[in-house]
Amino acid sequence: MEEVRIEELTPLILQMLRDKNFKGLKDELSALYPMDIAEVFDELEPEDCVILFRLLQKDKAAEVFSYLSPQRQKDIVGAIHVSLLNYIFNELYFDDKIDFLEDMPANFVKKLIATAPPEERGLINQFLNYPENSAGSLMTIEFTDLNKNMTVKEALAHIKQTAVDKETIYTCYVLDDTRRLEGIVSLRRLVLSDEDQIISDIMTKDVVLCGTNDDQEQVADLFKKYDLMAIPVVDSEQRLVGIITIDDIVDVIEQENTEDFLKMAAMAPSDDAYLDTGVFTLAKQRIPWLLILMISATFTGAIIGYYENLLSTAVVLTAFIPMLMDSGGNAGNQSSTLVIRGIALGEISLREWPKVMWKEFRVSLIAGAILATVNFLRMMVFGNGDFMIKFTVCITLFFAVVIAKLIGGLLPIAAKALKLDPAIMAGPFITTLVDAIVLFIYFSIANVLIF
Amino acid sequence: MEEVRIEELTPLILQMLRDKNFKGLKDELSALYPMDIAEVFDELEPEDCVILFRLLQKDKAAEVFSYLSPQRQKDIVGAIHVSLLNYIFNELYFDDKIDFLEDMPANFVKKLIATAPPEERGLINQFLNYPENSAGSLMTIEFTDLNKNMTVKEALAHIKQTAVDKETIYTCYVLDDTRRLEGIVSLRRLVLSDEDQIISDIMTKDVVLCGTNDDQEQVADLFKKYDLMAIPVVDSEQRLVGIITIDDIVDVIEQENTEDFLKMAAMAPSDDAYLDTGVFTLAKQRIPWLLILMISATFTGAIIGYYENLLSTAVVLTAFIPMLMDSGGNAGNQSSTLVIRGIALGEISLREWPKVMWKEFRVSLIAGAILATVNFLRMMVFGNGDFMIKFTVCITLFFAVVIAKLIGGLLPIAAKALKLDPAIMAGPFITTLVDAIVLFIYFSIANVLIF
């Protein structure tokens, strides 16, 4: 729905740029959501973005900036006046500031931090030191804090006074004098309570929280499980240092899914958008696994090499190798994908591995029998030649499916048990392993039945 | 962090159940979050769940029920008293009610709807008719509506009066007399405004909204793009009929990702949790694609069959088939996964296909050259035999990587252009196609250089 609009909008804006119709562009841009402008920017060339960016009102420019991809942010930072840059930087929410700085070169970061208010500088440096993908690196400091002795009326007045700078006011955090978290109270609760009730009487003491060093994936799981809108982040001394809001968690969920997609296709994980990633980075992300899998596959070749003399007396067997290898690989791939996904979503736990194996075993019997039967019929109708060859191929196919599904079901759970990422036990790895086993079965059966 | 607790909790609760320590169980359960109880239930056998469920307080039972998997809901519905069931049903939020009814058998649904308040029955029937995975099937009717002529004070009083039954009060919807949406106003805005301001002066008129028949994936994209907490859903006459809140969108995002994972591993998509899915359903989800891919792979075999006579004079060539097929498949799989993911996240648009091809081409030259070189060195050190065979294998490997990456990059975009789901152009399909091409190149080169 929206996509169409952007696809229509981009050429329109480009045309206006070429016509140097800056007045029209200004009007057009001021009517658009900042997110839409950011999306148009991602489609345009850097030079055009810079021109458009200068046409934006200061406030809107800051907002658009926070939605741009890191690459576009870099393009614009290099081309705008330092005073506008400082303005934008100081308008950003604290977590957006940190995200932006994390992608910039170190000496640039130093210069920019120097322009921040002194009380913020220490904080920025502290936040830049949280490990990547930790709760600390995601959180914002702009939360609303209350005191437990306030009345509801005082609390609402306090919120009203301070809300402008807060990322959310819908959950408020009740702190003691040492900034330890004593409880939370939602704005909903505040609005629904009588004006003279005391915060300590209406706050929730039992709070789901996380630590600054917790991994973002764990934090996302807490949001999913408890339907949270925000989560407080505490340091090692249980002091509240920040909060994470759900809009950032939505991005984390997509990022974690992308990582799994990449790992499952035998690539090093990366957060960068495809088109913004350089050719050498892309190559570096892919080549190590390609090499490992290539070398593994030579062992499969060695099995063929071992049976070379036998094979030369029945070269026709070679023609079925792709079908057997592919079917085994695909069958194993299906199972491992389902199990990896089940583990990622918390639906399958380690203890349940016998259930998984039993299920995969029964599915594999059905799938193997159907595939072998269909293939046998196909070979009877279209193929010619030795019955024993057909029989060998179909028996191998059956065993290939059964073994592939058992391996595909088991390996991701085994990886989890060994504290490895289950996602690496996916397609390419399973395929390579299953290939070797399938060929071994194929030649062993052929050795008995044919040669 | 939380997972550990559940893993410890489940055996503890099981032990108390076996000791018939119901008093202890009641205390234990009342100290737990409803979401944690639901998670324990998913680990236990149905009979045990029913006993535990009866130990819950009525209110908590209703809440736990809304977090259970459809399978556990069914188990419990079959075993509890009809009066408790009716109580729970009427306590559920409207969208949870609909979710629950969608998974239950039709005659049961009829009976249960009969117990609902008359004014709700029509609505329930209407909601059950929205297409699966549409905005209509996700939305809830429990939103807060305001009139544009209210003052802020009146609006807050109205919210206070009606909030108990609302799923969210953080976004309020301003409707005209015909229930058409005129604007929205956030509770934040209300709290920050002066008491005697008029709603029409502070509301936002430019609202991102969706229609009842919009696909849930489109709706999720709107949430991601505009950082929404809730979205209004309008019917064909632009009347507000419901809202969708972000907690439901988080589930949609995971569901859409799961669908992509399954499609990319050549399976029919499904929403059901792996362990709750029957063996025949799982088999049905997998076998069609296995059959299609098996039959496609026989064409690859036909290429070998065609060169059978040549091959019999150099059987050693067979030993390199798995390595060449796997490397080609893996290289193509990497590219298609990156492009499919890029399309799903909106980072790659159709118009950008030349950029994608150019990038893949350059990456493939690097990857192909490195793989071919490493393999050549390996063959020189460990292999024996004809230099021309080594040369043939390495040249084929290079072309295999280049062609696989171009195909892997292009096909998902082509699918998108043809309004097909890019996710089907993944691993298994690419592998089968690339296999055939790789073998054709292999034998063509061998035919010139060796035979």
Q: Write out pLDDT tens, residues B19-60.
A: 888 888 888 888 888 888 888 888 888 888 888 888 888 888
Say how many residues make up chain B.
451
Task: Yes or no: say if B77 and B104 are a contact pair by the CB < 8 Å rule.
Answer: yes
Choose from A36, A45, A225, A430 for mutation: most chain B CBs within 10 A.
A225
Task: Yes or no: say if B396 and B442 are a contact pair by the CB < 8 Å rule.
Answer: yes
| 3-state secondary structure at position A296 | helix
Tens digit of pLDDT for each residue in A208-252?
Answer: 899 988 999 889 988 888 888 889 998 888 889 889 988 888 888
* B316 contact residues in A (CB cutoff 8 A): 305, 308
Give the C-alpha distances (Å, rounded to integers) separating B256 from A53, A257, B340.
34, 11, 13
Q: How many CA atoms lie within 13 A of A20 on its CB side?
A: 0
What distance in Å separates residue B334's CA from the closest CA in chain A?
Answer: 5
Segments of chain B with pLDDT less than 70: 1-5, 266, 384, 451
A2 part of contact set with chain B, CB < 8 Å:
yes
Task: Yes or no: say if B392 and B446 are a contact pair by the CB < 8 Å rule.
Answer: yes
Task: Yes or no: say if A202 and A216 are a contact pair by the CB < 8 Å rule.
Answer: no
CB within 8 Å: B301 and A320 = yes
Segments of chain A with pLDDT less than 70: 1-5, 266, 384, 451
Say how many residues make up chain A.
451
Task: Report the distance separating Cα B294 and Cα B5, nearest Å.
Answer: 45
Give the phi and the psi of residue B21 in degrees, each rounded to 5.
Answer: -85, 70
Give the C-alpha distances (Å, rounded to integers) separating B252 from B216, B379, B416.
7, 50, 21
| 3-state secondary structure at position A152 | helix
* B340 contact residues in A (CB cutoff 8 A): 261
Choose from B6, B274, B313 for mutation: most chain A CBs within 10 A.
B274
Tokens of B126: 């209407």
How many other β-carbons are positioned within 10 Å of the β-carbon of residue A285?
19
Task: Yes or no: say if B212 and B135 are a contact pair by the CB < 8 Å rule.
Answer: yes
How many other β-carbons are positioned within 10 Å of the β-carbon of residue A424?
17
Choose from A334, A362, A374, A390 for mutation: most chain B CBs within 10 A.
A334
Task: Report the distance separating Cα B147 and Cα B61, nearest Å.
Answer: 36
* B251 contact residues in A (CB cutoff 8 A): 224
Task: Report the distance separating Cα A380 and Cα A387, nearest Å.
Answer: 9
A311 part of contact set with chain B, CB < 8 Å:
yes
Rg (CA), chain A: 30
The residue among B49, B34, B211 whose CA lies nearest residue B135 is B211
* B260 contact residues in A (CB cutoff 8 A): 261
Partner-chain residue, chosen from B39, B312, B367, that has the shortest CB–CB distance to A290: B367
Partner-chain residue, chosen from B273, B321, B339, that has the shortest CB–CB distance to A347: B273
| 3-state secondary structure at position A292 | helix
For chain B, the three-class secondary structure string (H helix, E strand, C coil) is CHHHHHHHHHHHHHHHHHCCCHHHHHHHHHCCCHHHHHHHHHHCCHHHHHHHHHHCCHHHHHHHHHHCCHHHHHHHHCCCCHHHHHHHHHHCCHHHHHHHHHCCCHHHHHHHHHCCCHHHHHHHHHHHCCCCCEHHHHCECCCEEECCCCEHHHHHHHHHHHHHHCCCCCEEEEECCCCEEEEEEEHHHHHHCCCCCEHHHHCECCCCCEECCCEHHHHHHHHHHHCCCEEEEECCCCEEEEEEEHHHHHHHHHHHHHHHHHHHCCCCCCCCCHHHCCHHHHHHHHHHHHHHHHHHHHHHHHHHHHCHHHHHCCHHHHHHHHHHHHHHHHHHHHHHHHHHHHHHCCCCCHHHHHHHHHHHHHHHHHHHHHHHHHHHHHHHHHCCCCHHHHHHHHHHHHHHHHHHHHHHHHHHHHHHHCCCCHHHCCHHHHHHHHHHHHHHHHHHHHHHHCC
Rg (CA), chain B: 30
CB within 8 Å: B191 and A337 = no
Q: Which amino acid is at A74?
A: K
B104 part of contact set with chain A, CB < 8 Å:
no
For chain A, list the domains and their CATH numbers: 2-129 (1.25.60.10), 144-246 (3.10.580.10), 274-449 (1.10.357.20)
Give the phi and the psi of residue A211 in degrees, each rounded to 5.
Answer: -100, 160
Phi-psi region at B168: left, alpha or beta (left = phi > 0; alpha = psi -120 to 50): beta
Task: Yes or no: say if B103 and B70 are a contact pair by the CB < 8 Å rule.
Answer: yes
Choose from A60, A257, A351, A353 for mutation: most chain B CBs within 10 A.
A257
* Among B residues 228-247, those touching chain A with beta carbons less than 8 Å apart: 229, 246-247
Task: Yes or no: say if B187 and A170 are a contact pair by the CB < 8 Å rule.
Answer: yes
CB within 8 Å: A294 and B327 = yes
| 3-state secondary structure at position A203 | coil
A326 part of contact set with chain B, CB < 8 Å:
yes
Partner-chain residue, chosen from B1, B169, B319, that has the shortest CB–CB distance to A304: B319
pLDDT of residue B231: 92
- Residues 6+ away with beta carbon under 8 Å from B56: B29, B37, B64
Query: Given the structure tokens 């550990």, which residue do they identify?
Result: B4
Question: Max alpha carbon distance in chain B (Å)?
Answer: 95
| 3-state secondary structure at position A120 | helix
CB within 8 Å: A341 and B274 = yes
* A333 contact residues in B (CB cutoff 8 A): 265-266, 427-428
A341 part of contact set with chain B, CB < 8 Å:
yes
* B339 contact residues in A (CB cutoff 8 A): 274
* A294 contact residues in B (CB cutoff 8 A): 323, 326-327, 371, 374-375, 397
CB within 8 Å: B275 and A342 = yes
What distance in Å separates residue B110's CA from the closest CA in chain A?
Answer: 30
* A155 contact residues in B (CB cutoff 8 A): none
Task: Indicate the pairing of strand B171-175 with strand B181-186.
Answer: antiparallel
| pTM exceeding 0.90 | no
For B330-365, the three-class secondary structure string (H helix, E strand, C coil) is HHHHHHHHHHHHHHHCCCCCHHHHHHHHHHHHHHHH
Question: Max alpha carbon distance in chain A (Å)?
Answer: 95
Task: Report the distance separating Cα A328 and Cα B329, nearest Å.
Answer: 14
Task: Report the distance separating Cα A100 and Cα A105, nearest Å.
Answer: 10
Task: Report the distance separating Cα A380 and Cα A402, nearest Å.
Answer: 23
Structure ipTM over 0.85, yes or no: no
Query: Given the structure tokens 């919009």, which residue do they identify?
Result: B214
Tokens of A372: 């072998």
Task: Indicate the pairing of strand A171-175 with strand A181-186.
Answer: antiparallel
pLDDT of residue B451: 67
What distance in Å separates residue A176's CA from the closest CA in chain B?
Answer: 24
Nearest chain B residue to A161 by CA distance is B192
Task: Yes or no: say if A227 and B247 are a contact pair by the CB < 8 Å rule.
Answer: yes
Buried b (16+ CB within 10 A) or exposed e, A291-310: bebbebbbebbebbbebeee
Task: Yes or no: say if A376 and A390 are a contact pair by the CB < 8 Å rule.
Answer: yes
Q: Kind and range of the H or E element at A174?
A: strand A171-175
Task: Yes or no: say if A47 and A17 are a contact pair by the CB < 8 Å rule.
Answer: no
Query: Given the structure tokens 């220490």, which residue do they identify?
Result: A122
* A3 contact residues in B (CB cutoff 8 A): 221, 346, 349
Task: Report the distance separating Cα B27 and Cα B195, nearest Å.
Answer: 46
Task: Report the distance separating Cα B282 and Cα B267, nearest Å.
Answer: 9
What distance in Å separates residue B114's CA from the closest CA in chain A?
Answer: 30
CB within 8 Å: B349 and A7 = yes
* B334 contact residues in A (CB cutoff 8 A): 265-267, 286, 289-290
A280 part of contact set with chain B, CB < 8 Å:
yes
Q: What angle do CA A98, A101, A103 make, to 5 degrees?
A: 115
* Among A residues 75-94, those touching chain B with beta carbons less than 8 Å apart: none
What distance in Å separates residue A110's CA from the closest CA in chain B?
Answer: 30
For B255-307, the three-class secondary structure string (H helix, E strand, C coil) is HHHHHHHHHHCCCCCCCCCHHHCCHHHHHHHHHHHHHHHHHHHHHHHHHHHHC
